Amino acid sequence: MRKKKNHINRYGWRLRDEREAKLAMNAVYTRQSLDVKDSLSIESQLDACLNENGSAAYRHYNDKGYSGKNTERPAFQQLMADVRKGTIERVIVYRLDRLSRSLLDFAEMIDVFKKKDVEFVSCREKFDTSTPIGNAMLSIIMVFAQLERETIQMRVKDNYATRMERGAYDGVAPYGFGKAIAKVGGKQVHTLDVNEESDIVRSMFNEYAYTGDSLGAIAKRLNAQGIPSPGEAPWDGGKISRILSNPIYVRANADIFAYYNALGMTITNPIEDFIAVNGCITYGGWERSRRKFSQYDRLKLSIGLHPGLVDSDTFLRCQTKLKANRQICNAGKGKHSWLTGMVKCGYCGHSLKVMVDQKGRGIKRFVCSGNTNCGICSQFGSQRVDELEAGVEHELMQMVERRRDIEAKIEMELDTEESRIKIEQARISEKLNRLVDALAEGEPSSASAVMKKIAELEEKKKLLGVELRSHRAKLPSQQELLQFRDTARLWPHMTIQQKREVAKLLIDKIEVKCGEIQIYWKYNFEA
């Protein structure tokens, strides 16, 4: 162990004086995660560290059951607190990754060690932290430690897929099921078991398949009965549709195999496993911005360990009806008003939809889907489509007539924001150049701190680029602006779709209450 002196060393670190040195002792740190297969036992780590420590006084810091992916560990936090107090002069670990598997966390820790003149020793990787070469080698080792963590994460992901292929279920239990434990190949895995909500699920499937009830009608009945949905929010057609679309509920047979195979889903089980007993497990990569079960070619399907709730005939009847319902909805969407999709109920927030008077007069009215689909809104009543369109049209034409002001304001706003972001990007570039020069000419002791600062600035620069692109995306292009230059003259001759496209350029949403309209414009063009 090197002799401590009371002076400033060549790297600028303050060395402890003799009084501090007398109080200081060595620290032995050990850690083992919950997965005991990933490392030696605490006892084996401690023996190796004590062999390195010799007869010197030491304090043992032990984190059992904690991961090395972050520093939120009680013993590690206590160790760093003692280091900062100056009561530790040497830290001994069995292996580098016992302290951290994060390069940035490790760099911060080593920086604290250097400031307090604390030696660092790894039993497996022999490094002298007092030399530039030792510091460089430590950084290289931690790069590989971080790579190891990412490899473990990938292995966990692969193990997850393997468990799903065997029928296990690791996610949140869907409505109608609770979590359970089963054994596969002598190992315990998570699966599902039916609960008291399963009867409600069966009722949904039967009503939708055989009674002619709509999704909205089923939702209204459930809400009227006070039956809570997943998440305790009121039922609506969307929630019902997601349940009816999920093959987790079907007792899968050969018909189910053929159905999903035809849709392009990857099926991991042979058709012989589809014996009309168990439900299905779906997994794989899919975009949350889109409906899961519209992306069949991205999904895998396996026979689960859990029992199915409905027979294949009922399930497939529901799929046919859901598909037809979506086609009808898409075909008729927005054909009655150019405001469709923009108007919301000012009381409950649900969309307003058009209902046509069936008594021969053909009057179109907006009604709240929160009432018709869910039965949860009784305040809105109805609003004539022609009257609402006239009110919004008046405000829209006033905005369009001010198009020159709009264009000028957009251009000014864009230029101002771009200038601000580009100035900030230039400042960051200057700072980065200075830091790179400092890294090339400075002492190795400061390398970790400089690299950390460079990483922070690079991330900030990247975020500024994202901000600029996002700002540009929010503003209409010159081509879009041209679309409404002659709007006032052409408006009476436009189709419903053309009017909607013009309106969506300027309007974010419209909230409607009885006798009150609130338009939320996409841009604030007030002087």
Average pLDDT estimate for 30-42: 74
The reply to whether 392 falls in a domain is: no
For residue 294, pLDDT over 60 is answered with: no
Higher pLDDT, 169 or 156: 169
The reply to whether 285 falls in a domain is: yes
Dist CA 46 CA 339 (whole Å): 71
Report CA-CA distances (Å) from 5 to 8, 16, 18, 25: 9, 7, 7, 16
Same domain, 228 and 142: no
Same domain, 250 and 320: yes
For 468-477, b/e burial (b = at least 16 CB within 10 A) is beeeeeeebe
The reply to whether 23 falls in a domain is: yes
Same domain, 187 and 324: yes
Same domain, 56 and 103: yes
Same domain, 196 and 120: no
Same domain, 327 and 186: yes
Note down the domain range covering 317: 177-331
The reply to whether 480 falls in a domain is: no
CATH number of the domain to which 148 belongs: 3.40.50.1390
Same domain, 191 and 134: no
Domain boundary among 331, 348, 371: 331
This prediction's pTM: 0.46
Q: What is the arrangement of strands in the sheet containing 119-122, beginning at the earlier edge strand?
A: 58-64, 25-32, 88-93, 119-122
Dist CA 56 CA 290 (whole Å): 62
Domain boundary among 331, 361, 392: 331
Same domain, 215 and 316: yes
* Average pLDDT value over all residues in the chain: 77
Same domain, 76 and 32: yes
Question: Is the Cβ–Cβ distance between 484 and 338 less than 8 Å?
Answer: no
The reply to whether 363 falls in a domain is: no
Give percent of the chain above pLDDT 70.
70
The reply to whether 498 falls in a domain is: no
Tell which residue, 364, 336, 339, has the closest CA to residue 351: 339
Query: Which tens digit of pLDDT belongs to each residue from 367-424?
Result: 888 787 777 777 887 888 888 888 888 888 887 776 656 666 666 666 677 777 778 8
Structural domain count of the chain: 2
Sign of CA dihedral 501, 505, 509, 514: negative
CATH number of the domain to which 323 belongs: 3.90.1750
Question: Is the Cβ–Cβ distance between 205 and 199 less than 8 Å?
Answer: no
Same domain, 317 and 274: yes
User: What sections of 66-131 are H helices per DSSP?
Assistant: 74-85, 96-99, 103-115
Dist CA 509 CA 342 (whole Å): 5
Dist CA 280 CA 319 (whole Å): 15
Same domain, 324 and 190: yes
Which range is least confidently modeled, 65-69, 171-175, 234-238, 299-303?
A: 65-69
Question: Is the Cβ–Cβ distance between 204 and 218 less than 8 Å?
Answer: yes
Same domain, 184 and 46: no
Domain boundary among 152, 167, 186: 152
Report CA-CA distances (Å) from 302 to 165, 172, 225, 290: 6, 17, 35, 22
Average pLDDT estimate for 12-23: 47
Query: Which tens digit of pLDDT belongs to each residue from 312-343?
Result: 999 999 998 888 776 555 545 567 888 888 88
Residue 288 three-state SS = coil
**Res 194: pLDDT:** 92
What letter would DSSP give residue 365?
E
For residue 217, pLDDT over 70 is answered with: yes
122: Cβ contacts below 8 Å, ≥ 6 apart? 92, 93, 94, 95, 96
Residue 17 three-state SS = coil
The reply to whether 39 falls in a domain is: yes
Query: Which tens digit of pLDDT belongs to each residue from 435-455?
Result: 766 666 655 556 666 667 777
The reply to whether 33 falls in a domain is: yes
Helix then strand count (H, E) for the chain reads 18, 15
Strand pairing category for 364-368 and 382-384: antiparallel
